[in-house]
Chain A
Amino acid sequence: MIESSMLAWIIGSVFFSSLFIMLISLYNRYDKTIPRVLYTFLGIGGPFISLLLSAYLLYTQVSTGQNITFTAFTWLNIEGFMVKASFLLDPLSAAMLSFVAFVGFIIHLYAHAYMKEELAYARFFAWFNLFMASMFLLILSDNPIMLFIGWEGVGLCSYLLISFYFNDEENVKAGNKAFILNRIGDFGFLSGLALLFINIGHLGLDFGSLEANIHLIPTATLSLIAFLLFVGAMGKSAQLPLYIWLPDAMAGPTPVSALIHAATMVTAGVYMVARFNFLYAMTEDVSLFIAYIGAFSALFAALIALRQDDIKKILAYSTMSQLGYMFMAVGLGAYSAGIFHVFTHAFFKALLFMGAGAIILALHHEQNIKNMGGLKKKMPLTFAVMLIATLAISGIPPFSGFFSKDAILNHLFASEQYLIFSMALITAGLTSYYMFRLLFIVFITPSKEEKPLLPQSSLISITLVVLSVGALFAGFLNLPVFFGGDENFSLWLNLPDIRHHLSHQTELILLLSNMLIAGIGILMAYVHYAKSATDPSLGFLNNWLRNKFYIDEFYNFVFVQPLAKLSHLIVFIDEKVIDAALHKLAFGYQKLSYYSDLVQNGNVRYYALYMTVGIVGIFTYIWGVTQ
């Protein structure tokens, strides 16, 4: 069937474009004779084909309501253990596919404009396309093993792209940090998978069989599996306590940040939890734990974001905070609300990063918002799209973020988890506060430097406008009943959500309180930052927030330093004990050989003597035995 093989070509087209770019640029590395436009053609063309195929398959899926599956080949067939390279397009993966393909393609266009002047243009697009291919593989795979390959692929590509400017040691360190923290998470993920296979792996490894057989696992083991899988999500989706790589990941070029935060990578954790919904539905304690981790991460990141000055770091913390919302939702059983927030978040977060990238380019690679100001007049288009995205992330109707966030907050309230709910509500206020702080400082406060701005390329403007349409209207796809909609998106996703019914009145009160909180945040930001960019004092909290609660220092002290000390100790033992003993031993044998060497003097007379002594010895022995 032609549709089903298309499924593999969504991954294949970006994978092969990446491969070709790599090979051509390797072949062409000395005499740069091949024109750059070839790389552009491949680098943009691959995602474009993926986008077309995704759109067609999405249309097919929605119109027929049939899941599309495709088995490319049997990858492993060991007795009682069969892994197929098979792909699945059900509503959940289709929803992810739609925005990853679309936002990813837009970011590729933007990246072309952003990286035009870059020397390593080909390398950049090779990794960029591979990133997309890994994410597609992660989304479309029909068994956890293939999912894990995609999972590792995005980890690898994030490492490669974060340390893209590897001439600066700091960037390399940031890449390593991302990779190592992801490894910690992946260890958990892999252990969880292993446990899953030990228990029900022989009954089939695709998600359908796993779902059918999940009841065979004892509850305690099931909780452990659920927890271990979530450890992987903590690393990949930057939740407490494995989040510290995300702010440092800003070392990469801005399109990379946009791709990591919007389309690929960080949403993988939420997707994984939603994909294993049958598992998490059976382990309520772990799910609650996920919700709490999400709540704490959301609040924590929002607090840190209050006092950051790097425009990209503010956005990074806001991503972590929004991911917290998604985990609160999926933890409390609102899978479709969580996925819908992933969906809307992709649009406005990509828009925010691309807007920030446009500002950074225009200001000659200035990233500190304290050195910006008054850009509203100079960059009206960027201001408009940033305003749309900021309103969306703050949850102001009718922008996309409002609907998804409102759905999550309603669900949190209805689940009667009031601690989580209040944390989420506070985070919502903080979010609108720090996002508008950014907006006011960058665009409204008086301008500080008079350096002429670099002109913005028209391609960047076009991509910004296209995405801002998404950020504006994506929310209407899942219009709640309250506003006269019918929650199309959730119905289509058809995930086993836990549904609570709220009365009309409660919903209205919640809606108003959400808007009120967001409004207060905006108002406060206006009062503090409309005139000047100086931060109001927060007492002792000032330093804590500015230094990100000293978490990096804490980890350094608790984990990194002891580990370094331990390695030094091991090196000492290795060199001074094990190696030394072996050296002494070898030296001893050498000495011994010196003495045995004396016997072999090459003199036939002595050999005759040895022979005689030997024969006499043997005969003496035989004589002794026979007596």
Chain B
Amino acid sequence: MLNIEHFFILGILLFSIGIVGMVSRRNIFIMYMSIELMLNAVNLILVALSHHYADLNGQVMAMMIIAIAAAEASIFLALFVMLFKNARSLDANFFDLLKQEKHND
């Protein structure tokens, strides 16, 4: 019998995998997929809770997230194309513009 705890465990597992993938992989595509994985883990939990409490708000929210994630995906992919055009690389370590300039003292 499936009950709410099982959905939670699955959601946490998916979310954790997403985080680990996000942090450990250098390929920007993999990182993006990890982000999507995390989003969907949250979606899963929202839908499960919606069912558990018989409240449609959770499903509405999940639909919303899916819609936004789709929009986001298009921006992300366009971004990646531009990045690759400019830098000829999709290695996340290569893009460290946020890093502070080293002082020579």
Q: Is B one of A's binding partners?
A: yes
Do A608 and B22 touch across chains, with their CB atoms under 8 A apart?
A: yes
Q: Which one, A590, A604, A609, contacts B92 given CB within 8 A?
A: A604
Contacts of B105 in A (CB 8 A): 590
Do A601 and B23 touch across chains, with their CB atoms under 8 A apart?
A: no
Q: Which one, A597, A604, A606, contacts B100 given CB within 8 A?
A: A597
Do B26 and A605 touch across chains, with their CB atoms under 8 A apart?
A: yes
B99 part of interface (Cβ distance < 8 Å): yes
A626 part of interface (Cβ distance < 8 Å): no
Do B23 and A608 touch across chains, with their CB atoms under 8 A apart?
A: yes
Do A603 and B92 touch across chains, with their CB atoms under 8 A apart?
A: yes
Closest A residue to B100 by CB, please name it: A600
What separation, in Å, do the CA atoms of A458 and B95 have in the docked complex? Answer: 94
Do A600 and B99 touch across chains, with their CB atoms under 8 A apart?
A: yes
Q: Which one, B19, B24, B98, contacts A604 given CB within 8 A?
A: B98
Contacts of A608 in B (CB 8 A): 19, 22-23
Do A602 and B23 touch across chains, with their CB atoms under 8 A apart?
A: no
- B93, chain A: closest CB distance, angstroms: 6
Do A612 and B96 touch across chains, with their CB atoms under 8 A apart?
A: no
A contact residues, total (Cβ < 8 Å): 13
Do B23 and A609 touch across chains, with their CB atoms under 8 A apart?
A: yes
B97 part of interface (Cβ distance < 8 Å): yes
Contacts of B23 in A (CB 8 A): 605-606, 608-609, 612
What separation, in Å, do the CA atoms of A241 and B102 have in the docked complex? Answer: 64
- A603, chain B: closest CB distance, angstroms: 5
0 or 1 for each of B72-105: is its CB under 8 Å from A? (1 = yes): 0000000000000000000011011111101001
Of B95, B96, B97, B105, chain A has the most CB atoms within 10 Å of the CB of B96
Q: Which one, B22, B97, B99, contacts A605 given CB within 8 A?
A: B22
Closest B residue to A610 by CB, please name it: B23
Contacts of A612 in B (CB 8 A): 19, 23
What separation, in Å, do the CA atoms of A574 and B31 have in the docked complex? Answer: 57
What separation, in Å, do the CA atoms of A604 and B102 have in the docked complex? Answer: 18
Interface of A (DSSP majority class): helix
A601-627, CB < 8 A from B:
601-609, 612
Interface of B (DSSP majority class): loop
Closest A residue to B102 by CB, please name it: A597
0 or 1 for each of B29-68: is its CB under 8 Å from A? (1 = yes): 0010000000000000000000000000000000000000
What separation, in Å, do the CA atoms of A163 and B99 have in the docked complex? Answer: 62
Q: A608-B23, A609-B23, A612-B19 are in contact. Are A602 and B92 (CB under 8 A)?
A: no
Closest A residue to B99 by CB, please name it: A602
Contacts of A604 in B (CB 8 A): 92, 95, 98
- B97, chain A: closest CB distance, angstroms: 6
Q: A590-B105, A612-B19 are in contact. Are A602 and B26 (CB under 8 A)?
A: no
Q: A590-B105, A597-B100 are in contact. Are A603 and B19 (CB under 8 A)?
A: no
What separation, in Å, do the CA atoms of A590 and B102 have in the docked complex? Answer: 12
A579-608, CB < 8 A from B:
590, 597, 600-608
What separation, in Å, do the CA atoms of A603 and B91 have in the docked complex? Answer: 11
Do B31 and A605 touch across chains, with their CB atoms under 8 A apart?
A: yes
Contacts of A600 in B (CB 8 A): 98-100
- B60, chain A: closest CB distance, angstroms: 26
- A612, chain B: closest CB distance, angstroms: 6
What separation, in Å, do the CA atoms of A602 and B97 have in the docked complex? Answer: 6
Of A601, A603, A606, chain B has the most CB atoms within 10 Å of the CB of A603
- B95, chain A: closest CB distance, angstroms: 8
What separation, in Å, do the CA atoms of A602 and B26 have in the docked complex? Answer: 14
Closest B residue to A597 by CB, please name it: B100
Contacts of A590 in B (CB 8 A): 105
What separation, in Å, do the CA atoms of A591 and B98 have in the docked complex? Answer: 21
- B2, chain A: closest CB distance, angstroms: 26
Closest A residue to B96 by CB, please name it: A602
What separation, in Å, do the CA atoms of A608 and B100 have in the docked complex? Answer: 18
Closest B residue to A615 by CB, please name it: B19
- B103, chain A: closest CB distance, angstroms: 9
Q: A590-B105, A612-B19 are in contact. Are A601 and B96 (CB under 8 A)?
A: yes
Q: With A597-B102, A605-B31 given, name 14 new contacts (CB 8 A).
A: A590-B105, A600-B98, A602-B97, A602-B98, A602-B99, A603-B99, A604-B95, A604-B98, A605-B26, A605-B92, A606-B23, A608-B23, A609-B23, A612-B23
Binding site for B on A (CB under 8 A): 590, 597, 600-609, 612
Q: Provide a sorted-by-A list of 27 A–B residue pairs whose CB atoms are within 8 angstroms.
A: A590-B105, A597-B100, A600-B98, A600-B99, A600-B100, A601-B99, A602-B96, A602-B97, A602-B98, A602-B99, A603-B93, A603-B96, A603-B98, A603-B99, A604-B95, A604-B98, A605-B22, A605-B23, A605-B24, A605-B26, A605-B31, A605-B92, A605-B93, A606-B23, A608-B22, A612-B19, A612-B23
Binding site for A on B (CB under 8 A): 19, 22-24, 26, 31, 92-93, 95-100, 102, 105
List the 8 closest pairs (A to B, CB-CB), nearest first: A602-B99, A602-B96, A602-B98, A609-B23, A603-B96, A608-B22, A605-B23, A605-B92
